[in-house]
Amino acid sequence: MENRAHNFFAGPAALPLEVLKQAQAELLNFRGTGVSVMEISHRDKAFIAVTEEAEADLKKLLGLGDDYAVLFLGGGATHQFIMLPMNVLNEGDCADYVDSGNWAHRAYEEACIQADWAKAKANCIASTRELEKKYCVLPEVKQENMNPNAKYLHFCSNNTIYGTQFFEKNYPKPLPGVPLVADMSSGFMSHSFDATKFDMIYAGAQKNVGPAGVTVVVIKKSWAETFQKKGFQLPKTLDYKVQIEKGSMFNTPPCFNIYITGLVFKWMLEMGGLKAMEARNDKKQKMIYGAIDNSNGFYRGYVQNPEHRSWMNVTFNLPTPELEEEFVKSAKAQGMLGLKGYRTLGGIRASIYNSTTPESVETLVNFMESFRKAH
């Protein structure tokens, strides 16, 4: 285990070592069944227990009760870009969207397609896309731009590519009676917040809570019960009400991925829950942003406003692209992986999700200082 690298990939990303060891130990004989969890039916009592425990543990972490359902679905968070408007919007309806980054914009684009098909409308009520330095700050979300008849207000909590993040203190506030929906993929479970403010939260697991291939959807049951498509029936695999009724088991779910995600939830509970995750992540982000801000301009953060900076995806540049290339190469040679910035932005990106240890961040910060002194 001493040869494990320091993992800064943006997703799929780091998993807790404790979880990997448990999965390794159970790989050939899951809970005395004599087979791997990948080899048993999703209808078997042993696997149903996995999903039920994962749902209960997630609700405990979020402080939610039986008025919420937890779904474990395939298709990635981007699939929810389609499912959400497809389930909710009918002719004449509208939904409000906040465009704060690449994935928020993708969600809005998909909503426009689905809304047009349903003879409805998706409204972009706030955006930082057209700034000269695109998405370098969070947009100002004003209620005066919202539609009081909107079927929901949607935002993405963390900007994986550019490195901004909404926290509870600056979550968009919908107009009274308008449901609040968030794509929390890369910020999910990274800090404490009041989950009861949301009618729906969804997240691709591969950032903070599991491997790629499963998407977690937390949805208020009473809201889902209001969904009614007029004039046609949704495909059952795309119908939230069907998925809730069947407990994510309408068709074969991504079983192994759900199993790992459930182990991560148990790890989080053992660590102390969301408050412990918040303290851990606050420590890490302070270390790395401190290294950037105290570098006399050698490292330049893409997001300058400390209130808008992501705790999960730290983006920065060096004086030249050549130095950035050397930085990534040298870091990799010393066991630090995944530091190259997103292809459309460039620069450096260090993704420091829940499972990335403070020791790994400290190793990176020490490397940043030695690299700066050498150049």
What's the DSSP call for residue 44?
A: S
Average pLDDT rounded to a whole number, residues 203-209: 98
How many CB atoms lie under 10 A from the CB of residue 211? 21
**For 148-187, what is the HEC assignment?**
CCCCCEEEECECCCCCEECCHHHCCCCCCCCCEEEECCCC
269, 303, 321 - which closes a domain: 269
Domain match, 287 and 251 both: no
CA distance 113 to 46: 41
240, 269, 298 - which closes a domain: 269
pLDDT digits (tens, 9 = 90+) for 97-119: 999 999 999 999 999 999 999 99
Q: How would you class 250 by CB atoms within 10 Å of its CB: exposed for 0-12, middle for 13-18, buried for 19 or more?
A: middle
269, 286, 315 - which closes a domain: 269
Q: Does residue 96 lie in a domain region?
A: yes
Q: Does residue 256 lie in a domain region?
A: yes
Which tokens go with 180? 């609040």
Which of 189, 187, 184, 180 is closest to 57 using CA atoms? 189
Q: Does residue 11 lie in a domain region?
A: no
Domain match, 173 and 225 both: yes
pLDDT digits (tens, 9 = 90+) for 270-290: 999 999 999 999 999 999 999
pLDDT digits (tens, 9 = 90+) for 23-39: 999 999 999 999 999 99
Domain match, 317 and 254 both: no
Average pLDDT rounded to a whole number, residues 187-202: 98
Q: With a cut of 50, say whether residue 62 has pLDDT above it.
A: yes
Domain match, 185 and 291 both: no
The distance in angstroms from the start CA to the end CA of the chain is 33
Long-range contacts from 116-122, C-beta under 8 angstroms, 24+ separation:
118/85, 118/86, 118/89, 118/90, 118/91, 118/93, 119/91, 119/92, 120/85, 120/89, 120/90, 120/91, 120/92, 120/93, 120/94, 120/95, 121/93, 121/94, 121/95, 122/85, 122/94, 122/95, 122/97
Residue 51 confidence (pLDDT): 97
Which of 124, 131, 134 is closest to 162 using CA atoms? 134
Q: Say whether 99 sits in a helix, a strand or coil.
A: strand
Which of 317, 93, 341 is closest to 227 using CA atoms? 93
Residue 186 confidence (pLDDT): 96
Please tell me the pTM assigned to this model: 0.97
Domain match, 95 and 222 both: yes
Please state, rounded to an integer, the average pLDDT across all residues of the chain: 97
Q: Say whether 347 sits in a helix, a strand or coil.
A: coil
Backbone φ/ψ region at 272: left (φ over 0), alpha (ψ -120 to 50), beta: left
Average pLDDT rounded to a whole number, residues 283-300: 98
Element at 256 (helix H, strand E): helix 255-271
Residue 1 confidence (pLDDT): 47
Element at 332 (helix H, strand E): helix 321-333
Q: What are 154's strand-pairing partners? A: 97, 181
Give the residue numbers spanning the domain of 336: 273-374
What is the radius of gyration, based on Cα positions, of the chain?
A: 21
Domain match, 352 and 210 both: no
Q: Does residue 370 lie in a domain region?
A: yes
Domain match, 159 and 36 both: yes
Q: Does residue 14 lie in a domain region?
A: no
Residue 230 confidence (pLDDT): 86
Domain match, 191 and 279 both: no
Domain match, 132 and 241 both: yes
CA 282 → CA 275, 299, 309, distances in Å?
10, 20, 12
Domain match, 137 and 68 both: yes
Confidence of residue 2 (pLDDT cuts 50, 70, 90): low
Asked if residues 308 and 138 have their Cβ atoms less than 8 Å apart, the reply is yes
Which tokens go with 187? 């910020």
Which of 270, 269, 165 is closest to 207 using CA atoms? 165
CA angle centred on 14, ends 10 and 20, rounded to 5°: 155
pLDDT digits (tens, 9 = 90+) for 221-266: 999 999 998 878 899 999 999 999 999 999 999 999 999 999 999 9
pLDDT digits (tens, 9 = 90+) for 353-366: 999 999 999 999 99
Q: Does residue 31 lie in a domain region?
A: yes
Domain match, 256 and 284 both: no
The domain that contains 296 carries what CATH number?
3.90.1150.10
Q: Does residue 114 lie in a domain region?
A: yes
Average pLDDT rounded to a whole number, residues 184-206: 98
Find where tokens 């994510």 sit: 248
Q: Does residue 260 lie in a domain region?
A: yes
Active-site amino acid positions: 103, 183, 207
Domain match, 228 and 82 both: yes
Quote the percentage of the chain above a pLDDT of 70: 99
The domain that contains 261 carries what CATH number?
3.40.640.10
Total number of domains in the chain: 2
Q: With a cut of 70, say whether residue 45 has pLDDT above it.
A: yes
Average pLDDT rounded to a whole number, residues 303-322: 98
